[in-house]
Structure 1
Amino acid sequence: MKIAIIGAGAMGSLFGGRLAQAGEDVWLLDVWEEHVAAIQAHGLTLVDTTAETSIRLNATTQADDIGPVDLVIIFVKSYATPDAAQTAAALLGPATTVLTLQNGLGNAETLAKVLGAERVVVGTTAMGATLLGPGRIKCGGQGPTHIGSFSGGANPRLHDIATIFARAGIHTVVDSNVTALVWSKLIINVGINAITALTGIPNGQVMASAETRELVRLAVAEAVAVARASGIPLPHTNYFDQVATVAQATRDNRSSMLQDVTNRRRTEIDAINGAIVAAGKRLGVPTPVNETLTLLIKTLEQTYLS
């Protein structure tokens, strides 16, 4: 299968590298010229606890280099989704599927407006990765990937994608309840991302002290209350335990928001904790902890983005 990955940061590179290792025709597309040049020259290096592996695959900064593909995977930050949708439009063939594995709310809706809802597949992943430098990423944890049709109709490509991912070592489940999937991932991100970004700790330490555990508990409880007020049929009853499980499974990983803050980049706070605050205001559900976390991250961003 010919696959284009838009957004070759830590997670996009991880998926691209694994899929290329499994024999798929993979193209990484990213605006970071130094990263792309390193991959073109030396391959993509995947670092794990036991070894470093160099993988040869296609990488470019220009969508015109790629041509039509069978599958587009979107891994850009949520605020870049409108631009990614326009880029993906240039890669479409008659039967191209577009899969979003992004954080936050609203990405699938943005893609569907430009590309058509019938093409869009929504997913979440518990895989973890950290960008070490141009052409180098560290694998940061294993976890399942779930995918489902955004339109709710049958999509024959879903099982093909799951099979291809499984061959690449990415355990993937086809799921019919994609809205609940996205909200479940959002709630887990609410419990990890902003807290790690503000404190500088890896995922495994968010449950290491009574103070951070309480922050997690309060932030997650607000997110669950908003989800329930929205009528979302959440698949788990105890999301504090779910956060603890994910944090332990990715204990050495630095969350994407922590990586953004470390590298002085704009974060996805508006699509994560900020999305809980916005939905809470619409629904009349108080979200003071998530509002505080959102304001703290925005204050931190202003110290390096202004």
Structure 2
Amino acid sequence: MKIAVLGAGAMGSLYGSFLSQSGADLWLIDIWKEHIEEIQKKGITIEEGEASYSIPVKATIDKSQVGPVDLLLIFVKSYQTKKALEDLSPLIGEETTFLTLQNGLGNDEAIVERYGQNAILAGTSSFGATLLGPGRIRVAGRGETTLGILRGATTESLEKVAQLFRQSQLNPRIEENVQGPIWDKLLVNVGINALTALMQIPNGRLLDHKGLLYLLEQAVREAEEVAKALQVPTSPQPVEKTKKIAQVTGHNFSSMYQDLHNGRRTEIDAINGKVAACAKSVGLPTPVNETLGLLIEAMTEVKQIKRNRSDT
């Protein structure tokens, strides 16, 4: 199988390096030149626990170098999705299947809107990874990959992808209604990501403060009510699940923390912001999610102003 991973950040690099060991013809594609050049020279260097190892992976900034693929795995940030989908013609053939494992909501809709004639899979990942620098990532934890049919794919093609993921130690789990797991992950993210980013703390510290714990609970409950109004089947007790994940990943820093800390744009619009937007469509109030979204936007602007001043 020929595979392209679009977006070679922490998770794209993790999945790309693991999938490359299965024998698939795999390419990583990204616009970060230094990152791609380092991968071309040394492969992806992975730190996991006390171990450090490198995996050779083909990488490029030029899509035309790759050609049409059987599977196109989308791992760009949610706010980059529409732009990234604009010029994929060198990668797309009649049999190309899309797979999005991105955070937040709206990514699958963007793919369907532009490439609905192709088979589209969607899902979530509970693996954890941090981008340390060009060509280097840290695996913070291994989990599973949820996969399901979004549009146009067959059960046979879904199982073929799942088998490839099994061979790559990416622990696939097939779901009949994949929107449920996507919302399950969203419910966790709305409770953890923005709060850890704003407070600049690892996940577990949320459980040490009554005020932060209250905000976590309220953010998740608001999102759960929105899911119910939209008739999305979610798992029971999402608040307790979110607390458990915060505890289990206690020393990890959320992706939103990493983005805000490193001066990058966050995915707040696809997480807490998307919950607030969906809530308005069904007439529900989501004051905590709205406030968290506004605070992240304000913090992002403040950091940008400070960077601009330091550069002058």
- Cα deviation, 1:37-66, whole Å, max 9, x if unaligned, reads 111111110101020011111111111111
CA contact (8 A) 1:203 1:254 kept: yes
Distance 1:230 1:275 in 2: 13
Deviation at 1:117, TM superposition (A): 5.3
- CA separation of 1:122 and 1:89: change in aligned 2, threshold 3 A: farther
- 2:162 is the alignment partner of 1:162: yes
- CA separation of 1:237 and 1:118: change in aligned 2, threshold 3 A: same
The residue matched to 2:265 in structure 1 has which SS? coil
CA contact (8 A) 2:39 2:56 kept: yes
Deviation at 1:184, TM superposition (A): 1.2
Unaligned runs of 5+ in 2: 306-312
In the TM superposition, 1:135-284 aligns within 5 A as 135-151=135-151, 154-234=154-234, 236-284=235-283
In the TM superposition, 1:76-87 aligns within 5 A as 76-87=76-87
CA contact (8 A) 1:141 1:249 kept: no
Question: TM (normalized to structure 1)?
Answer: 0.95
The percent identity for this pair of structures is 46
Distance 1:15 1:252 in 2: 22
Deviation at 1:271, TM superposition (A): 0.7
Query: When the two structures are aligned, how many residues end up with a matched partner?
Result: 305
The residue matched to 2:123 in structure 1 has which SS? strand
Deviation at 1:143, TM superposition (A): 1.6
Match of 1:119 in 2: 119
CA contact (8 A) 1:19 1:26 kept: yes
- Cα deviation, 1:196-252, whole Å, max 9, x if unaligned, reads 111112223332333322221111000001111111121x11001221233344333
| More deviation, 5-14/20-29 | 20-29
Distance 1:194 1:137 in 2: 22
Match of 2:71 in 1: 71
The residue matched to 2:259 in structure 1 has which SS? helix
CA contact (8 A) 2:73 2:99 kept: yes
Distance 1:209 1:16 in 2: 38
CA contact (8 A) 2:120 2:152 kept: no
CA contact (8 A) 1:130 1:253 kept: no
Match of 1:287 in 2: 286
Deviation at 1:152, TM superposition (A): 7.0
The residue matched to 1:150 in structure 2 has which SS? strand
Deviation at 1:23, TM superposition (A): 2.6
Distance 1:13 1:194 in 2: 24
Distance 1:158 1:224 in 2: 28
Question: TM (normalized to structure 2)?
Answer: 0.93
CA contact (8 A) 1:44 1:54 kept: yes
Distance 1:117 1:248 in 2: 42
Deviation at 1:291, TM superposition (A): 0.9
Match of 1:300 in 2: 299
Distance 1:89 1:147 in 2: 25
| More deviation, 121-130/155-164 | 155-164
Distance 1:153 1:12 in 2: 22
Deviation at 1:35, TM superposition (A): 0.8
Counterpart residue type for residue 244 of structure 1: K
Distance 1:254 1:222 in 2: 23
CA contact (8 A) 1:128 1:250 kept: no
Distance 2:298 2:38 in 1: 34
